[in-house]
Structure 1
Amino acid sequence: MDAFVFLMISSFITDSVYSVSNQVISKNLRDFLFTGYDVSILPQCTSGEKVTLNVDMALRQILELNERDQILTANIWMRTNWNDCRLQWDTISYNNITYLTVTFHDVWKPDTTLYDSAGEEVMFPGWEDFRVSISNSGQVTYNFPSVVKSICRVNVKYFPFDTQECNLKFGSWSYNGFDLDIVNRNSNGDLDNFIEHTEWKIRKLPAERHEFYYNCCPEPYPDVTFTIVMERRPAFYLLTMLLPCILTSCVAALGFLLPVESGEKVSLEITVLLSLAVFLLLVSESLPPSSDDFPVIGSYFACSMVLVSFSLLQTVLVLNVFYRGTNGRRVPRWANVFFLQFLGRALCIQSNKVAVQSDSTDEEQFPDDTNNADNSVVPINVKGDVRNHSNISTLKFRAFELQTTGIYRNPHSQQTNIQNDRHLLANESSDSATTNLKRIVGHLEEDHLNESISAEWRDISNVMDRFFFILYALVTVITTMSFLLQAV
């Protein structure tokens, strides 16, 4: 038991001495490295030597892509390393210590700059909050996470089936290519730890080195550009924008099937037009105000508004034609031939025209001879549909009977004066009834003619309604399919 306790105490003392020894050695190593070290001087140990900065980036998350302001906000992990010839040591002399971790402000750092930064205050938030790792060969590694904002030119022509490419361009702002060379460590950025976005799907993250000569300076300035290629998920916009617009355009077609007597054709088309204007306003609020890359969906909404406007105009024309027969104006012969005989048959529309039969024997049915009138009065029934041609013929026949029937007495027969007076009164009553019936028949024939004219105009309006419906449906289908084929 005593031996075990002794061993435990010895082990604890040994570990404590070793830990204290390492701390002392690390402190000695730190003092050795940073004595006389200047963090503001580029680590060039020989003349003409340039420092090579290796850059790599891991994309953690796409936070937002503001299409209107054209700014990309992303969470990235920056991975940089370079060689500082002033930070080398012999591991044997320092108890085989190969790595040393120091604070951010202890060593020289390259002024890595995001060229197209849109940050308002700090370019790399958290840039100075992490530690730097140094190897015994002088290799300095500095990895840090940050949330960056970069300018990204958004092309929304094929919205919501668009693919965007946003460049993150890293380089030095102070050092040219002769002093500091920047290269990409890998040909692609790291997407292993990427968090999927609800709207954007990352396709690839290539990295490419460029070297530019600017007008200000004759020296080259290298940079490493990471291109974030992302594709939009269109499901949300299809359900909230495109599908309602297509349904609204289809509702506009129902206005041609709505009967004129309902009085709601014009109000329906105006309501659809206002709905499309609201959809176009929603799209314009979320997209950048650019005339160069106007979205196809915006053009589709504009075309739909034009189509609905034309449908409103066509509806007004149909209403004008429908009520044109109320003033007794006859249908022109060319309109009758074109709309009723040609276009109506092509569209399988049957005419509801009321037949008008002119009677050339009216004078014969209503003779002026009243000498043969009988003293009996035939009862007349004018109830029913007075516009029916058979009722009009019946009235004519009854009037003819009143004129041609009755009791005619031979003047050579023996009659009293009282009987002659009775016959005279009966003839006078028959003449009055005949005159009234002629007037009624005339009014009925006039109403019948007006109804026939109105029926012809109604038939033409129905043909126009059917033709405009088919035309609108075809143009809407062609426009929608062309948009989908162009955008997808």
Structure 2
Amino acid sequence: MKVPLLSLLALLSCFPTGLLCRNQEERLLKDMMTGYNKNIRPVEKDGDVTQVTLKLTLTNLVSLNEREEALMTNVWIEMQWCDYRLKWNTSLYDGIDIIRVPSKSIWLPDIVLENNSQTYSANEIDLVLTNEEGRTVEWIVIDPEAFTENGEWAIKHRPAKKLINSHYSKDDLEYQEVIFFLIIQRKPLFYIINMIVPCVLISSLGLLVYFLPAKAGGQKCTMSISILLAQTVFLFLIAQKVPETSQAVPLIGKFLMFAMTVTTIVVMNCVIVLNVSLRTPSTHIMTNDVRQILLNFVPRLLRMQMSLWSPKDAQPCPTSRRRSSLGLIAKADEYVLKTARTELMFRQQIAREGLMKSVLQKIQNGLEGGTVQDLSNSLAQASPEVRQCVASCNHIATSIQKQNDFQNENEEWFLVGRVVDRVCFLVMALLFALSTVGIFLMGHFNQAPSTPFPGDPNRYLP
């Protein structure tokens, strides 16, 4: 019976202490809140300045909306100040040295994180950064246990500064401000795989049109325009993500505009090459200087596998431009439509047979006479017909020669088109390669600075 009694006495002896402690806290809180006005700044006399220390702890960098230029983060703001009305003598309250009071019951500094709308000026509140272990915390604190790393952005610098705007007086709210900086850099892997590499591959397809034949101008233009449409789609997608500002242009946007310009020039080159390839001697005259440059010097310089033109093949250039044969062709077509096909086939044959028959008959008559005089007379009579036959043969030979020259010059215009096409390919390939490397090297060297502020060696780190 003694053991339960002692236990009961011990249990009862604990209650008065707990009740006393609770009553002391209640009495302390009641004594402090008596006459306390939370709308009055805690200063003992007029002219005193309340010092408020600030500290910001970053727990998560959520996202950056580039179009709206808004950064979303999760942070804790720690503010410290001294309120002389909230002090007591611990000996009067059983040694209580800590008490928790609802924030709605006491005075709070009117300070917000963004768009500072504080009520008090620098004459009333002094904003400073927190001092820990004798050192000012001039950085955004990151708790490694609570911080969640962002998959798109990396934090390079996180300084904090108190700025005094000397353009304002202490009575102005803009005189003092504490700014927390976040200098972040994009992690490029996602954009390299999903935007840069596809964009470069699609743009490089524009150079493949030069591997089509010079006369395939329609296919070249179709392929180039298709690539141009694909680049336009990429540009439209990028325009939906970047801010609507004229102060800067993203590098991927610069590259797309450059690639679209190159593709447009490729289409123009295709049209020019097609125009040169389809030229004929009836519409254009090729001089020997053009042949020397585009059919001899340039192909040899580019090591093209084609027959080179030599000055030995030079032909005298006509003093005037050949007239177009479209009118003669139209008349010939009209004649063919009105004349029977059999008549067209046999008319010239009948004329040739009649001419030969007449010549042979006159020669035979001279041979039948048996004398030299008769043979001489028969040849004299047949000479006009013989001269006509020779003239006809010469006309045929000349016509065939002119046709061969026409075909050769047509072939030369086609070869000129090939040479121009190859020159355009080399120029555009070199321009595309150098400009692409240059644009993306700008992104490579566009790195975050080694220190947060130019000219300030302080790194603002713990």
Q: Which TM-score applies when normalising by structure 2?
A: 0.72
Structure 1: runs of 5+ lacking an equivalent: 117-170, 359-402, 415-430
Write the mapping of 1:132-147 to structure 2, written as runs, cut at 5 A.
Answer: none
Give the one of 457, 460, 468 matched to 2:416.
460
**Deviations 1:65-97 (CA, angstroms, capped at 9, x unpaired):** 222222222111111111100010111211221
Higher relative contact order (CA 8 A, sep 6+): 2
- What is the letter of the counterpart of residue 118 of structure 2? W
CA shift, 1:297, in A, is 3.0
Q: How has the CA–CA distance of structure 1 residues 35 and 447 changed in structure 2, closer, same or farther, with 3 Å as cutoff?
A: same
CA drift at 1:61: 1.4
Give the aligned CA root-mean-square deviation in angstroms: 3.4
Q: Map 1:20-59; keep pairs closer than 5 Å.
A: 20-59=19-58
Secondary structure at 1:318 match in 2: helix
Written as runs of structure 1 = structure 2, the 5 A alignment for 1:242-257 is: 242-257=196-211
SS at match of 1:286: coil
Q: Do residues 474 (structure 1) and 430 (structure 2) align?
A: yes
Number of the residue aligned with 2:139: 188
Match of 1:344 among 292, 299, 320: 299
Cα distance in 2 between the residues matched to 1:322 and 1:483: 35
- Specify the code of the residue in structure 1 equivalent to 2:75: I
- Equivalent pair of 1:213/1:219 in contact (CA under 8 Å): no
Alignment map for 1:258-277 (pairs within 5 Å): 258-262=212-216, 263-277=218-232
CA–CA distance in structure 2, aligned partners of residues 183 and 337 of structure 1: 81
Where does residue 121 of structure 1 map in the other structure?
none
Taking the TM superposition and a 5 Å limit, the aligned residue runs for 1:302-317 are: 302-317=257-272
The aligned runs of 1:257-406 (5 Å cut-off) are 257-262=211-216, 263-325=218-280, 327=282, 329-352=284-307
Task: Look up the SS of the partner of 2:267 in the other structure.
Answer: helix
Amino acid in the other structure paired with 1:314: N
SS in 1 for 2:64: strand
- For structure 2, the residue ranges without an aligned partner over 5 or more in a row are 131-136, 315-358, 371-386, 445-462
Q: Distance in 1 between matches of 2:307 and 2:414?
A: 8
Task: Give the letter aligned to residue 211 of structure 1.
Answer: I
Partner of 1:91: 90
Q: Which amino acid aligns with 1:306?
A: T
| 1:207 is aligned to 2:207 | no
Residues in 2 aligned to 1:11 and 1:320: alpha-carbon distance in whole angstroms: 112
Q: What letter corresponds to residue 292 of structure 2 in structure 1?
A: V
* C-alpha displacement of 1:18: 2.6
1:46 partner SS: coil
Deviates more, 1:177-186 or 1:66-75: 66-75
Report how far residue 39 of structure 1 moved.
Answer: 0.5
Aligned AA for 1:19? G
How many Å apart are 1:483 and its aligned residue?
1.0
Whether 1:100 and 2:99 are equivalent positions in the alignment is: yes
Q: Which residue of 2 aligns with 1:382?
A: none
Relative to structure 1, the CA distance from residue 35 to residue 461 in structure 2 (aligned partners, 3 Å threshold; closer, same or farther) is same
Residues in 2 aligned to 1:203 and 1:70: alpha-carbon distance in whole angstroms:
19
Q: Is the 8 A contact 1:255 1:269 kept in 2?
A: yes
Which protein is richer in helix relative to its size?
2
Deviations along 1:220-272, one digit per CA (max 9) or x if unpaired, are: 73321111111111112222222222212211111111124544101111112
Cα distance in structure 1, aligned partners of 2:228 and 2:411: 31
Q: Does the aligned pair in 2 maintain the 1:353–1:456 contact within 8 Å?
A: no
Distance 2:313 2:80 in 1: 104
1:198 aligned onto 2:157: no
**Distance of aligned partners of 1:412 and 1:234 in 2 relative to their CA distance in 1, 3 Å threshold:** same
Question: Percent of counterpart pairs with the same letter?
Answer: 25
AA partner of residue 74 (structure 1): T
Which amino acid is the alignment partner of residue 316 of structure 1? V
CA distance in 2, matches of 1:108, 1:237: 49
Partners of 2:122 and 2:171 within 8 A in 1:
no
Q: CA separation of 1:13/1:222 partners in 2, compared to 1, >3 Å: closer, same or farther?
A: farther
Greater percentage in strand: 1
Give yes or no for contact 2:296–2:308 (8 Å, CA) kept in 1: no
Structure 2 Cα separation of the partners of residues 208 and 219 of structure 1: 19
Counterpart CA distance in 1 for 2:390 and 2:7 is 144
**In structure 2, what is the Cα distance between the partners aligned to 1:450 and 1:481?**
47
Matches within 5 A, 1:134-173: 173=118
* CA-CA distance at 1:325 after TM superposition: 2.9
Offset of residue 340 of structure 1: 0.8
1:413–1:229 distance in 2 versus 1, CA, 3 Å: same
**Alignment length, in residue pairs?**
372
Contact 2:299 2:308 in 1 (8 A): no
Shift of 1:448: 3.2
Distance 2:188 2:104 in 1: 47
> Residues 283 and 27 (structure 1 numbering): CA distance in 2 closer, same or farther, change over 3 Å?
same
TM superposition score normalised by structure 1: 0.68
- Give the Å deviation of 1:7: 4.7
8 Å contact from structure 2 (residues 63, 72) kept in 1: yes
Structure 2: distance between partners of 1:223 and 1:15: 52
